């Protein structure tokens, strides 16, 4: 049902949970409604992501999207361009009814990027 790449991101997603004292955070969706993606980052003065945590439903596609962000952002600049299509491609596809988690992950990053710009 899930690609080997999606399972790999799911299995390596060690940043599931919450951070103590994030410098930036965002929330997309609604935990009350069951579809959400929370992203917490620690970003240093030069714009490098030093720590990251995400919290979402405990399903393979959602956690795989968080694991993807973990790999793409940790130790790198927070202003990277990410797209939904890129995440889905790099995960080697997601079930159509779960692609919205890729959108939520991208939107969570964009909220933080917008906050950094203002």
> 17-36, pLDDT tens digit by residue?
999 999 999 999 998 888 99
Of 76, 94, 78, the C-alpha closest to 7 is 94
Residue 87 clears pLDDT 90, i.e. is over it: yes
Residue 50 per-residue DSSP state: E
DSSP 8-26: HHHHT-TTBS--SS-SEEE
Contact 15, 66 (CB under 8 A): yes
pLDDT tens, position by position, 34-84: 899 999 999 999 999 999 999 999 999 999 999 999 999 999 999 999 999
**pLDDT over 90 at 110, yes or no:** yes
Contacts of 12 (CB under 8 A, 6+ apart): 67, 70, 71
When divided into structural domains, the chain yields a total of 1
Pairwise CA distance, residues 36 & 91, whole Å:
19
Q: Is 48 helix (H, G, I), strand (E, B) or coil?
A: strand
Domain with 87 in it? 4-117
CATH code for position 86: 3.90.1010.10
């Amino acid at each position: 049902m899930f690609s080997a790449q999606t399972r790999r991101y799911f299995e390596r997603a060690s940043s599931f949970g919450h951070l103590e004292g994030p410098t930036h955070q965002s929330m997309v969706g609604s935990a009350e409604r069951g579809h959400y993606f929370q992203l917490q980052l620690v970003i240093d003065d030069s714009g490098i992501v030093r720590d990251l945590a995400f919290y979402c439903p405990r399903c393979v596609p959602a956690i795989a999207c968080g694991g993807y962000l973990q790999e793409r952002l940790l130790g790198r600049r927070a202003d990277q361009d990410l797209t939904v299509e890129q995440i889905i491609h790099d995960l080697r596809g997601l079930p159509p009814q779960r692609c919205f988690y890729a959108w939520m992950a991208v939107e969570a990053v964009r909220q933080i990027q917008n906050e950094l710009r203002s």
